[in-house]
Structure 1
Amino acid sequence: MIARTVACATLAALAMGAAASAQNYGLNPNFGTYSLSAGFLPDPQVVNVIAGGTIDAGHLGGACAGAISDAPDVRLNFNGGRISIGAESNADTTIVVNGPDGRWYCNDDFDGLNPRVTLSGSGQYDIWVGTYSGGTAQAVVYFTEY
């Protein structure tokens, strides 16, 4: 009975590990890599993207939602303190960010149907812009210190 319980727990842990690694921040971003330092101008900086994908961001847990791609949409190498990362679109979009600390940060509907997260710290930020109801949509990712 103990062996069976351990085997089930091991299988559950493996399944959870596979789901959590579905987003591959090791892939090249779909819409480029950008570097910014504190005090950057103009503020905000913007990048045009196509939001959406075939992967349900809900598997990342927390507030993560929407359909996203496997590879990040945008990579930001940031040298500074506080940074806000958001998306704007005519569609209902979501945002998923893998921060320099390896944690996942997500938002849906910060400003109407547009998402935004505010984080602190220097390092690599991998960013996915999702569509809440699936499909794809034109969007803008923006970076601001305000």
Structure 2
Amino acid sequence: MKTLVAAAALTLCAGAAHACPDFSYSGYGISASGSQLYSASTYQVIAGGSSDLAACGFSGYGFVAVAPDFELYYSQDGAYDLTFRLNTACDSILLINDPNGNWWWDDDSNGNLDASINVGRGVDGTYDIWVGTVGAGTCDASITFETF
């Protein structure tokens, strides 16, 4: 189930008593071009966090950290589709804020309760990426960035 979430969701968090995902914080920085990601790159991460997306006004659900787990500095140097996919030890979700300010969310598109998002033809800029869980716990995970 893939969803493009309205960018207004963050403004709903401003008055909330708890912290919501905030792309102004930094995640682990990765720089890559479309041609470089034609060979997939995979990174280890702990999925989950204390930010409840439903309480933050997102149409998706799940729990993520306040700061993004990753910041992908991407340059499109060809006609590539950009895909993010998870492999986790739990029921995972993926939340992405793209360079145009659009929010993307997914739950199970990669099968086995793992998330996957294809943003289509990637655009130049920073993708803020949160690896989350459906429930309030955490689990071991890996995320793969790849172009096709």
Please, what TM-score do these two structures have when normalized by structure 1? 0.80
Q: 1:47 to 1:40 in 2, by over 3 A?
A: same
Gaps of 5+ in 2: 1-10
Seq. identity, %: 29
By relative contact order (CA 8 Å, sep 6+), the higher-ranking structure is: 2
CA distance in 2: counterparts of 1:141 and 1:127, whole angstroms? 10
The match for 2:42 among 46, 54, 61 is: 46
Task: Write out per-residue CA displacement over residues 21-49 of structure 1, whole angstroms, 9 at most, x where no aligned residue.
Answer: 822212121xx100111211562101110
| Residue 12 of structure 2 is aligned to residue 16 of structure 1 | yes
Q: 1:71 to 1:17 in 2, by over 3 A?
A: closer
Q: Which residue of 1 aligns with 2:84?
A: 85
RMSD between superposed Cα atoms in Å: 2.0
Gaps of 5+ in 1: 1-14
Q: Give the greater-gyration-radius structure (CA).
A: 1
CA distance in 2: counterparts of 1:28 and 1:101, whole angstroms? 17
1:55 offset after TM fit, Å?
A: 0.8
CA distance in 1: counterparts of 2:15 and 2:137, whole angstroms? 21
Q: Across the two proteins, how many residue pairs are aligned to each other?
A: 129
The match for 1:61 among 43, 54, 58 is: 58
